[in-house]
């Protein structure tokens, strides 16, 4: 049985170990020489629980029986219970590559740090709970649209096995505020909402940037609000190591060595996180340094998106006009962010040492984890690092699959899932299963009209238009182009080719593309069965392979159009779709008939859905 709210065990370690702002006013101001500010949530009228995650609540020893009127008031910020101390965090950040100075929790307020019955520490936060010293020109509020998206995606990512902050509740109120969702001059009134978040720590890369000095060469004159306070930087690093990396803290080594090991752990956990994002087709959307967790968690869900059609240039964020944070760039930009963390730690560890750690560990850890996951998704148990007997290597079979997906506009999630329909060569059902798999892959491909429509939107996107304008004025030859420009030009050339095909010719291309890849894939599967030719052994191997694939290829991800459907109903007071969608996302690898519609590719109009930062 879970605890009541009044039985929660608060310890609030950060307030006891790190400096707190001496200015207790809640109006926005620069917070000097402090990591946190005491601030009280602003109450909201008539709060109502939209949905909750039981597994997240259990992290702090709460359950269904804990949910009552006081529960809703507490998780809205309308009532503070004994032991709870409310505060917000000061941090800085590089936003779209430029240092922005003080940012901080502009709408997030901690309710405290809780130790559960397993002696685990969890920080509890409300996002959208009102003004803080870091709200700047904003109002400290979030709307139901963005809050429900963050709630659903946090729990979806956890169930997909991707490290993430957790979301316990989503609560809506009667208070309305104006939001211009697409920054097009058409604001509308939306209901205020609050999402509660849990993490063992919300410390981020930007937490260490509050000490940053001015760097004129970077193009920014901004400085951290605690510039020069290397004593507080060391205090923060020491606290983080002691509380979050106890294995490092317990080592009998110098503090310098502990700082280096801490940085190495952050590098590796970040590398593994990005590998998981790439494998599942998730695009964060705003990978600024203030959105990067030092625990390797997915943090701050804003204009994120799961890919529908495979597109390495997928950009879910309307504000990312240059494609800095597009899908294919995520591993690279996270390495850039780690470099900025290294620079922030420079008073404690030399940049040469952290640079060596980054170079040695980041991309090898990312690639190793990424390929291991992708081989499980492809159902390949035997590794081939180079060509053997005219078989494709691991990298080649994956690369050619993704190239085929790109060529035919294949649905990323459903196409991977379809591969488990194919039995191993030698099984009685192999020929029948081959036809089913081929038909499903073709079904998950884009039609001729869909491809033309998609490329039209790609061509008029801000990222592509900017590159075409640069090319026009620079007169660059292809050999002089950077990789990004070459990729864009290649895709536009392919679109020109596709647009000149008839529908029948395009359909033939799709069929031939899949036939070509499947032939090579089956050759690899033949390699898998060597040594398992006996019927019983082959059957066991086939079952093992399919089980592995279905445990790594989800049926359900939070597609944008699914989130939009749940949001629209919730905005009208019907929370049933949000709860139903949550149920599917909490068990994404198990196919269930009642959720069959959640696996459907989006319609033509839904494909155009993108998200802004307005929340």
Collect all residues with Cβ–Cβ distance below 8 Å to 463 and sequence separation of at least 6: 313, 315, 320, 321, 322, 323, 326, 488
Catalytic residue check, 542? no
The rounded radius of gyration (Å) of the Cα atoms in the chain is 25
As a whole number of angstroms, the distance between CA 221 and CA 241 comes to 31
Q: Give me the phi and psi of 112, to 5 degrees please.
A: 130, 180
| Catalytic residue (choose from 21, 61, 290, 369) | 290
Tokens of 474: 């620079």
Exposure string of 340-369, with b = 16+ CB inside 10 Å and e = fewer, is: bbbbbbbebbeeebbeebbeebbeebbeeb
Q: How far is CA 365 from CA 171, 268, 272, 370, in A?
A: 39, 6, 6, 8
Burial class, 271, CB count within 10 angstroms (exposed 0-12 / middle 13-18 / buried 19+): buried
Tokens of 337: 């962010």
Q: If you ran DSSP here, which 8-state letter would residue 127 be given?
A: E
As a whole number of angstroms, the distance between CA 268 and CA 332 comes to 14
Rounded-to-5 percentages of helix, strand, coil across the chain: 50, 15, 35
As a whole number of angstroms, the distance between CA 529 and CA 546 comes to 14
Q: Which helix (H) or strand (E) holds 90?
A: none
As a whole number of angstroms, the distance between CA 404 and CA 511 comes to 11
Instruction: Assess contact for 442 and 507: CB atoms under 8 A.
Output: no
**Active site amino acids:** 290
């Amino acid at each position: 049985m879970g605890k009541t709210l009044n039985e929660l065990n608060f310890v609030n370690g950060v307030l006891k170990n790190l400096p707190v702002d001496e200015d207790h006013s809640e109006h926005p101001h620069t917070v000097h020489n402090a990591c946190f500010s005491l601030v009280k949530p602003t109450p909201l009228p008539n709060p109502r629980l939209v949905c909750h995650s039981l597994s997240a609540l259990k992290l702090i020893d709460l359950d269904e029986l804990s949910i009552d009127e006081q529960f809703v008031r507490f998780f809205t910020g309308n009532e503070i219970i004994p032991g709870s101390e409310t505060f917000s965090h000061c941090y800085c950040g590089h936003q779209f590559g430029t240092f922005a100075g003080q940012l901080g929790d502009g709408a997030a307020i901690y309710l405290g740090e809780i130790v559960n019955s397993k002696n685990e520490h969890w920080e509890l936060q409300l996002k959208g709970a009102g003004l803080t010293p870091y709200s700047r020109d904003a109002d400290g509020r979030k709307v139901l649209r963005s809050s429900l998206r963050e709630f659903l995606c946090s729990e979806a990512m956890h169930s997909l096995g991707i490290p993430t902050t957790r979301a316990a509740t989503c609560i809506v109120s009667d208070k309305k505020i104006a939001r211009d969702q697409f920054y097009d001059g058409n604001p509308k009134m939306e209901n205020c909402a609050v999402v509660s978040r849990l993490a063992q720590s919300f410390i981020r890369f930007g937490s260490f940037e509050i000490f940053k000095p001015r760097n004129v060469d970077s193009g920014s004159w901004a400085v951290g609000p605690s510039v020069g306070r290397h004593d507080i930087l060391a205090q923060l690093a020491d606290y983080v190591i002691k509380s979050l990396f106890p294995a490092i803290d317990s080592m009998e080594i110098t503090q310098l060595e502990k700082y280096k090991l801490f940085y190495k752990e952050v590098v590796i956990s970040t590398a593994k996180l990005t590998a998981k994002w790439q494998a599942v087709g998730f695009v964060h959307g705003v990978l600024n340094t203030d959105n990067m967790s030092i625990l390797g968690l997915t943090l701050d869900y804003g204009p994120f998106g799961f890919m529908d059609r495979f597109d390495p240039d997928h950009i879910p964020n309307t504000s990312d006009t240059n494609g800095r944070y597009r899908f294919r760039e995520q591993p690279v930009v996270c390495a850039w962010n780690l470099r900025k963390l290294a620079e922030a730690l420079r008073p404690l560890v030399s940049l040469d040492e952290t640079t060596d750690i980054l170079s040695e560990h980041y991309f090898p850890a990312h690639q190793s984890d990424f390929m291991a996951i992708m081989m499980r998704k492809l159902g390949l148990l035997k590794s081939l690092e180079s060509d053997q007997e005219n078989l494709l290597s691991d990298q080649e079979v994956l690369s050619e699959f993704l190239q085929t997906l790109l060529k035919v506009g294949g649905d990323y999630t459903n196409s991977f899932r379809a591969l488990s329909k194919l039995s191993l060569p030698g099984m009685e059902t192999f020929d029948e299963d081959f036809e089913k798999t081929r038909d499903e892959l073709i079904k998950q491909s884009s039609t001729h009209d869909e491809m033309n429509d998609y490329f039209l939107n790609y061509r008029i996107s801000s990222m592509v238009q900017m590159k075409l304008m640069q090319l026009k004025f620079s007169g660059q030859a292809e050999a002089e182009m950077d990789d990004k420009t070459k990729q864009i030009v290649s895709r536009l050339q392919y679109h020109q080719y596709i647009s000149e095909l008839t529908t029948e010719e395009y359909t033939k291309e799709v069929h031939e593309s899949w036939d070509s890849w499947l032939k090579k894939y089956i050759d690899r599967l033949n390699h898998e069965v060597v040594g398992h030719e006996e019927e019983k052994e082959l059957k066991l191997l086939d079952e093992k392979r399919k089980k592995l694939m279905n445990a790594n290829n989800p049926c359900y991800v939070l597609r944008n159009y699914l989130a939009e459907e749940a949001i629209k109903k919730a905005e009208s007071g019907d929370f049933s779709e949000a709860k139903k969608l949550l149920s599917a996302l909490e068990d994404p690898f198990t196919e269930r008939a009642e959720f069959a519609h959640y696996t459907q590719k989006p319609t033509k109009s839904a494909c155009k859905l993108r998200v802004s930062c307005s929340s």
